[in-house]
Amino acid sequence: MNFDLEQLLQHLRVNKIGDAHYRGENLPGKRKAVFGGQVIAQALSATIQHIASDRQPNSLHCHFLRPGNTSVPIDYQVVVVRDGGSFSLRQVTALQHGKAIFLATISFQKPESGLQHQQPAPSMLPRDEMISEWEFWQQVQQERPEITYLRPPNFTALDIFSRFRPGVNAPEPQTDPTQAIWFRANGKMDDPSDHFLIVAFQSDLLFLNTAFHAHPYTLIDPNVQAASLDHCLWFYADIDASEWLYYDMRSPVSGGGRGLNHGFIYTETGKLVASTAQEGLMRVRE
């Protein structure tokens, strides 16, 4: 059976189990640690269910505190920080075995018009010069079967095209580390909230590896210790995640065992609809 879009969304949407208390199920597969994008999306789902329907998410500021265990469901507790005339702020904590593994503040805004500007979008790599997700995992199965646990079998929920993937075709070290992917949901979504969940989920994919492009390592090398430390996501417009989105990522600096990454998400026509920032742990064991 293919793991399709609706199955992915069922795992990203959390279920209410009490007053401001929600529970999320982990994605299937053989990973021991929970994928950060799953927790980000589930935390967003919990706060969306806790907020007035006339407000949309505009920013997330997230901290990863402990590795998540894929064998245990994740509980989310939401706290009202403020409800103003235009903005609302929620704090959400993800817990396993009563311990916090993740903490975020998520802001919502009533849609409004205002001043606008945008820098031009970068030159976008064409998809025919990239490798599809299906082709990548076929290549992994042949060249690195030991890392196939990183994705569920027959993962068809998203269409993804990338150029460099850790462990298979990583580039030579770059002086200006960058990377980009195209992605879209493999199907239509009627609920506008689902589009935000897909982008939140996808915003963590390969992001940390951007900083590693400056070095002769990848985040899945056996002598590398890598993990997301914090993650920020800003939305600037309504998003249709069933249409192609271009995720441009770059890393301005690494040092002190940490790497900083910035990301920008554009429509195929060049409209900037979201941006990201993340600091990740980068340690090489001697």
73-101 per-position pLDDT tens digit: 999 999 999 999 999 999 999 999 999 99
Q: What is the pLDDT of residue 1?
A: 46
> If you search the block for the tokens 């271009």, which residue do you land on?
246
Q: Is pLDDT larger for residue 27 or for residue 170?
A: 27
Give the model's confidence band at 167: pLDDT under 50 very low, under 70 low, under 90 confident, else very high: low
Q: Which residues of 19-49 are buried (b: 16+ CB within 10 A; e: fewer)?
A: ebebebbbbebebeebbbbbbbbbbbbbbbb
- For residues 65 and 103, is the Cβ–Cβ distance under 8 A? yes
Contacts of 117 (CB under 8 A, 6+ apart): none
240 noted as active-site residue: no
- For residues 254 and 260, is the Cβ–Cβ distance under 8 A? yes
Question: What domains lie within the chain, and their CATH numbers?
Answer: 5-112+127-284 (2.40.160.210)
Q: What is the pLDDT of residue 155?
A: 75
Contacts of 249 (CB under 8 A, 6+ apart): 178, 179, 180, 181, 206, 207, 210, 261, 262, 263, 264
228 noted as active-site residue: yes
Question: Which position among 75, 159, 204, 248 bears the catalytic label?
Answer: 204
d(CA 177, CA 253): 9
Give the residue among 78, 70, 65 at the shortest CA–CA distance from 17.
Answer: 78
d(CA 97, CA 73): 9
Percent of the chain with pLDDT over 70: 94
pLDDT(169) > 70:
no
204 noted as active-site residue: yes
Question: Which position among 228, 251, 254, 275 bears the catalytic label?
Answer: 228
Q: Is pLDDT larger for residue 1 or for residue 269?
A: 269
Mean of the per-residue pLDDT values of the chain: 92
Give the residue among 2, 69, 63 at the shortest CA–CA distance from 31.
Answer: 69
